[in-house]
Amino acid sequence: MRSRSAHSNEVLTYLTSWNNPGTAYDYDPAARKLVVSVFDVQPAYPGVADLVVEELEVPSHDGVMVPLSLIYKKGLKKDGNAVCFMTGYGTYGISATPYFSRRNLALLNQGVVLAETHPRGGSEKGQKWYRAGYQTTKPNTWKDFIACGDYLVKNNYTSPQHLIGEGTSAGGILIGRAITERPDLFAAAISNVSCSNALRMENSPNGPVNAPEFGTVKDSAQCMALYEMDALQHVKPGTKYPAVLCVGGMNDPRVVVWQPGKLAAALQSASTSGKPVLMQVNYDNGHFTEDKKVTFRNFANMYAFALWQAGHPAFQPSPVAVK
């Protein structure tokens, strides 16, 4: 939302949602009149008209109701065979507000169910919701995420053979602890530029400024909380872990590349599922990048890996003829 000019009270505002690419409006506060703006241009993205949105609340481990947003194409058969891409963050009080994503549309047009979780640690339900996934209460964040996955399986939106989990940056705590606590729930996981070794985060360049959010090893209670949220410390040998792709940026100043790297190495050594655990290092970007070519390649790799491992028929390797 922004003013049309310094000499006018008229406002140009832009509204979007999970299944709406967005509409620009002109608002006249004096007349209290909202009309579609002359600057509005409607894109013609394929498949948008077929998208369905469900806003749900599901019970978590302690009975607290957790918001869950689902987006999928019309005609979804709830037989457990659909691939589902479930993502979450739940940190710093950041809420997952509705927005339209062309990148997500690429998944939706492949028949993938998109699940946006709203775990504690965000601010979807206010300050108390944030503080309920903070430092010593951080386990609620990944347990809420797990509860959303269990709900999707129980109600046949997907199954453990087709469920993908994803977490980025501080969301690495969420996905890392979700797969170490419930490895049976996921077919694949993406741990993207992820905080995977919370106990050592404070020793990284960006670590001290994150201590107020996660805690410090200098305080005994907070140190134990950091241990609990540390995915690396909870990798157990002889466990059947899902397929995992860990992603790190060599020039990442926020989450040092050894954070996801150590998790990848531990999972490779411990997992007995026979599923691949890979480490992708981006040498041409950091935490993120504005270079669209690099960004598209990065997400294409993550999506292709996850859809392959979750059994999406369009992403299975072609059989090689044997002579």
Gap between the Cα atoms of 89 and 109, Å rounded:
24
Q: What is the mean pLDDT of the segment spanning 31-46?
A: 92
Residue 10 · residue 37 · CB < 8 Å: no
List beta partners, residue 279.
246
Name the catalytic one among 37, 101, 234, 287.
287
Of all helices (H) and strands (E), which one includes residue 130?
Answer: helix 127-131
Residue 99 · residue 71 · CB < 8 Å: no
Q: Which domains, and CATH codes, for the chain?
A: 2-36 (no CATH), 51-315 (3.40.50.1820)
pLDDT of 5 above 70: no
Q: What's the pTM? A: 0.94
Using 50, 70 and 90 to split pLDDT, how confident is the model at 6?
A: low
pLDDT of 1 above 80: no
Q: Which pLDDT belongs to residue 321?
A: 53
Gap between the Cα atoms of 300 and 266, Å rounded:
25
Q: Does residue 162 carry a catalytic annotation?
A: no
Q: Which pLDDT belongs to residue 315?
A: 97
Residue 245 · residue 190 · CB < 8 Å: yes
Question: For helices 220-228 and 207-214, what crossing angle results, to 10°?
Answer: 90
Of all helices (H) and strands (E), which one includes residue 230?
Answer: none
Name the catalytic one among 169, 194, 196, 204.
169
Q: Which pLDDT belongs to residue 179?
A: 98
Q: Which pLDDT belongs to residue 281?
A: 95
Note the pLDDT tens digit of each residue in 148-162.
999 999 999 999 999
pLDDT of 192 above 70: yes
Across the chain, mean pLDDT equals: 94
Q: Which of 38-52, 82-96, 158-172 has the lowest mean pLDDT?
A: 38-52
Q: What is the mean pLDDT of the segment spanning 195-199?
A: 97
Q: Does residue 17 carry a catalytic annotation?
A: no
Note the pLDDT tens digit of each residue in 76-131.
999 999 999 999 999 999 999 999 999 999 999 999 999 999 999 999 999 999 99
Residue 115 · residue 152 · CB < 8 Å: yes
- Provide the percentage of residues in the chain whose pLDDT is more than 90: 86
Gap between the Cα atoms of 197 and 217, Å rounded:
13
Gap between the Cα atoms of 281 and 275, Å rounded:
20
pLDDT of 2 above 70: no
Using 50, 70 and 90 to split pLDDT, how confident is the model at 322?
A: low
Residue 203 · residue 194 · CB < 8 Å: no
pLDDT of 232 above 60: yes
Residue 117 · residue 195 · CB < 8 Å: no
Q: Which pLDDT belongs to residue 290?
A: 80
Of all helices (H) and strands (E), which one includes residue 75?
Answer: none
Gap between the Cα atoms of 190 and 86, Å rounded:
10
Q: Report which residue type is found at 21.
A: P
